Amino acid sequence: MKKNTYNAIVSYVEIDNPNEGLLSGWDVALKDNINMKDTKTTAGSKMLENYTSIYNATVVDHLIAQGANIVAKTSMDEFGMGSYNFTALTGVVKNPHDVHRITGGSSGGSAALVAAKHVRMALGTDTGDSIRKPASYCGVVGLKPTYGLISRYGVIPYAGSLDHVGVFTQNVKDAALSLEVLSKKDPKDMTTHDIFKPYSALLDMDLKGKKVGIFKNVIDVITDEDVKTVFNNLVKTLEREGAIIVEKSIDQTLTHTLFPVYSIISNAEAITHHANLDGVRFGLQVEGDTLEALMTNSRSAGFGLQVKERFIYGAYVLENENQFDIYDKARKVRRLLVESYAEMLADVDVMIAPAATQIAPLMKDINHDPKTNDMYFAENHMVIHNFSGYPSMNIPMGTSNEMPLGVNISAKAFEDDVVLAFANQVEKLVEGEI
């Protein structure tokens, strides 16, 4: 395993894996919220800085069974709560294409290791766009499969109804092979499904006659001319190959709700999931004169500022007087967003849009200045695939100023094979193989 050049590695792993399988010879990394027996699993937090796993996540067992060589645990935003990999316990992760730029979060460490070709595949988790956005910024393939295809048993959560385990790879075929290995029914995870497809054998697709939806709500708001040009050139190339391009959009009133609805639901679920990290049952313990003081001191010292802010937000929306007016309404609006997106997908094979509104920003330029509601949607539109659970994938589509740009591809639930096959054709077009 190479040096930690980009600050992407939390810890190194050494195991002797005698198994032979689909992943034999692959060096693989795990995001540091995925439990692996006898290794530290910190989830990027001081609260779990000294926690050593006593069991394997189901996905780890699948990797080992197929011959993978697990070599490292990767940096992440604390408990997955971040967009820049700034809140990681081990510090900021650097983008291999330009070390002054971000990788994106929360799975930035995994994206960086694959981009640097230090590993062939890395696992990540995706609650909003935490695989796909870093994949776009780092110029790699990032797959968030259909909700329930990959077990989350043994994965420290952020928000259970939104969390997905997925993969970073250097090409579409490796993503397909990875999904074959990982997509299994798991009796330890009641959300998993017994659906298996030989994804790597289903990568051929004739683009002629395929209906491709263009997400107008996203492309119309983007102001970066390079992003628009690269994306529009891809659309023209698809048309030349015989694809039928269809412009699609969601009512603006609904798109403006996406980010606040995501914030309400994800933070409400987060405060619930992590209530046991109190210094008594689990996590860092800081002494106090009373049990309440011990718990307060432990949580105050163990959690970073952004996590505390999100927990406060989550606790507020779950208060009895707020639950109906805020949380329950957010869940209803989530359903309306999903229904609207399903209508868009109903008569197309895939939907596509730029995965990000720009190249990976410089670290010094990151700010939290207010944006328009339309820009919030454009920057966070991939959240809709977490709301719906539909498959969603980033692959590189070109460059701007020598930095990668990605296109997001999505389809209907359990049509991961369609997403992968379409992505495979796009990959060939971008690389000039067609």
For residue 116, give both structure tokens: 């640097």
Sort residue 95 into left (φ over 0), alpha (ψ -120 to 50) or beta: beta
Mean pLDDT computed over every residue of the chain: 97
pLDDT, mean of residues 74-92: 96
pLDDT digits (tens, 9 = 90+) for 231-278: 999 999 999 999 999 999 999 999 999 999 999 999 999 999 999 999
pLDDT, mean of residues 334-357: 98
Residues 6 or more apart whose Cβ sits within 8 Å of residue 405: 136, 226, 227, 230, 231, 354, 355, 356, 359, 396, 397, 398, 399
Q: What is the percentage of the chain residues whose pLDDT exceeds 70?
A: 100
**pLDDT beyond 90 at 434:** no
Residues with catalytic roles:
31, 106, 130
pLDDT digits (tens, 9 = 90+) for 379-421: 999 999 999 999 999 999 999 999 999 999 999 999 999 999 9
Dihedral sign for Cα 342, 346, 347, 353, please.
positive
The pLDDT, as a whole number, for residue 1 is 66
**pLDDT beyond 70 at 369:** yes
pLDDT digits (tens, 9 = 90+) for 24-75: 999 999 999 999 999 999 999 999 999 999 999 999 999 999 999 999 999 9
Q: Which helix (H) or strand (E) holds 234?
A: helix 225-240
Closest CA to 28 of 85, 110, 89: 110
The pLDDT, as a whole number, for residue 370 is 78
